Amino acid sequence: MTKFVVPKVIISKCIEFDRCRYNGDIIHSEFVSSLKPFVEFIPVCAECEIGLGIPRDPIRIVLVNKKTRLIQPSTNTDCTDKMVKFSADFLNSLDKPCGAILKAYSPSCGIKGVKIYPAFEKVASVDTGAGFFGAAVVEKFSNLAVEDELRLSNFRIREHFLTKLFVIASFYKIAAKPSMKALVEFQSDNKLLLMTYNQTKMRELGKTVANHLKKPVTDVFADYEALLYKAFAKLPSYAANVNTLMHAFGYFSDKLTSKEKAFFLDTLEKYRLEKAPLCIPVSLVKSMIVRFGEEYLSRQTYFAPYPEELYLMSDTGKGRIK
């Protein structure tokens, strides 16, 4: 069984950790609960940290002299400077987080779509943007797995988030004690996953590992890390997954009966037409790997990018795929 590295994940404390919302509420999330045994959460409530207390009057983002400010209208308090300072100090204090799960639409934690108002009074919003803490997280950790909890209710977004999270965690583990042997193994074990996400970057990563310029190991790791982030920047397409599965299927096509081959190709076509989830053709290839004892494929992270206990099938369909 694959042993996964435990990633560090920043989380808005009001999601599953504390009753710290402005009205003393907590937000329940089945996904965050299921993650608890597999990640090291770093819960934080930026509004509590800047001394706003629980319960508290709501704050909102307001345009003042055409600039966004974080305001508590009932007390006429401008919390912007405190929030900006707290965010920078807190994020700079963290040791290698791999991602963040932040509360959607909060003027502090939101990463997009947060309402921006033209005045302190009750008026309609005029624009949307990121909350102050959320914006600081995105700016500092733009390469990491950063999402809000609502987008993570979408199956494909969640799958991408988890894949990125665990791949970054396993890279950070080998980077803590850099060796070319470990990097060669990492590249080899992630070959199909990289092929699926970004073939151009997969080749560039391969060249980096080959190290024809004989760079020092630490420089090779730095180059590799920068490329790895780019490789995982976007979700892979359906066509890319089909291509990878066909590549893996090629290892077995001469060992299967024509009926078995037709069944697999039919299942893959259903996936390509978005009539079957990815896990079905993936499971078929996994069963071939076990049946024929294919050692190279059995090590590929593509077939188990994150712990299987996290394969929640629920999907609200919310959240646009980036």
Binding of residue 47 to ligand SF4 (CB under 6 A): yes
CB of 107 to ligand SF4, least distance (A): 8
Site string for ligand SF4, 98-137 (x = CB under 6 A): -----x--x-xx----------------------------
Looking at beta carbons only, is 74 or 287 nearer to ligand SF4?
74
Among 9, 32, 39, 46, binds ligand SF4 (CB under 6 A): 46
CA atoms of 268 and 262, how far apart (whole Å): 10
Closest CA relative to residue 159, chosen from 38, 317, 2, 311? 311
Closest CA relative to residue 279, chosen from 152, 164, 154, 155? 155
Among 10, 39, 45, 83, binds ligand SF4 (CB under 6 A): 45
Within 10 A of 187 (CB to CB), how many other CB atoms are there?
A: 18
Contacts 24+ apart (CB under 8 A), 61-65: 61/107, 61/114, 61/115, 61/116, 61/117, 61/129, 61/131, 61/132, 62/116, 62/117, 62/118, 62/119, 62/120, 63/116, 63/117, 63/118, 63/126, 63/127
CB of 189 to ligand SF4, least distance (A): 36
Looking at beta carbons only, is 108 or 163 nearer to ligand SF4?
108
Among 7, 9, 10, 14, binds ligand SF4 (CB under 6 A): 14
Using the rule CB under 6 A, give the single segment among 45-53, 121-129, 169-177, 194-202 that binds ligand SF4. 45-53
CB 206 within 8 A of CB 190: no
Using the rule CB under 6 A, give the single segment among 6-14, 192-200, 261-269, 301-309 that binds ligand SF4. 6-14
Give the ranges where 46-131 is alpha helix by DSSP (H): 46-49, 80-92
Binding of residue 148 to ligand SF4 (CB under 6 A): no
Residues 18-37 that bind ligand SF4 (CB under 6 A): 20-21
Among 8, 9, 10, 13, binds ligand SF4 (CB under 6 A): 13
CA atoms of 184 and 191, how far apart (whole Å): 10
DSSP 198: -
Binding of residue 310 to ligand SF4 (CB under 6 A): no
User: Where do contacts with ligand SF4 occur on this chain (CB under 6 A)?
Assistant: 12-14, 20-21, 45-47, 103, 106, 108-109
